[in-house]
Structure 1
């Protein structure tokens, strides 16, 4: 089931404010984020990176209108390549599951890599 999302500021490298998040059939926790002719692959961190627990600032929580941690869907941008897939842990995409508002956030004062190798499962 696809979800229509609104981004007050588009994810890096994309334009517009309306996007569709769609699960990739046969791949648990893998999504495409499509908008304005461009696409990103996103992984559900809860499925693929259960130990990944970034801390959002108060301003970031406010932008998304989050009132409870369980309302936040935490996704990371995946970059598939022939030599392996990397994920961006420094700038996750967070979606408010109640309001369908999303944002790609830059984590401040946290030691996460921009390109972390994704271990095969």
Structure 2
């Protein structure tokens, strides 16, 4: 059974102090724990707890892409101990350009977080039609 993740804005998004990615982010497998910093307007930083490696900008998917509902396979849901989609927080990694109009969210590989435990995984959504670069400004204008 596949699980459709909700992307509704979550007030508890910024209540997480740390998230733990068992396999790190794509391209950065050695960094597994990130501090969650900020959160104003659904955007915050993911900074490596150990200080090694880059800091990423992330956004709560539901703040910018309310119609984004990725489907998570059962194996991933089990790894994250997600028995209820309401416990999932879907984040997108943001690429920031020279100004805000050049900011893009990666909908193809979201970070799914279990809000009860802080366990997280960046999930590559093979077979789902989501872009690697979705403009944040255009999405925000839809609010």
Question: What TM-score comes out, normalization by structure 1 length?
Answer: 0.89
What is the root-mean-square deviation in Å for CA atoms of aligned residues?
1.5
Partner residue of 1:31?
44
Partner residue of 1:63?
79
Specify the SS of the correspondent of 1:106.
coil
The Cα shift of 1:23 comes to 2.1
**Where do 5+ consecutive residues of structure 2 fail to align?**
1-14
Q: Which has the higher contact order (CA 8 A, sep 6+)?
A: 2
The Cα shift of 1:63 comes to 1.4
Partner residue of 1:91?
109
Structure 2 distance, partners of 1:11, 1:108, is: 16
Structure 2 distance, partners of 1:5, 1:84, is: 27
| Alignment match of 1:13 (pick from 19, 23, 27) | 27
Cα deviation code 1:83-107 (max 9, x no counterpart): 5111111000010000110110001
Cα deviation code 1:32-51 (max 9, x no counterpart): 11113421111101111111
Higher percent of residues as helix: 2
Contact 1:2 1:22 in 2 (8 A): no
Tell me how many residue pairs correspond in the alignment.
Answer: 119
Partner residue of 2:59?
43
Question: What TM-score comes out, normalization by structure 2 length?
Answer: 0.77
Structure 2 distance, partners of 1:5, 1:88, is: 18
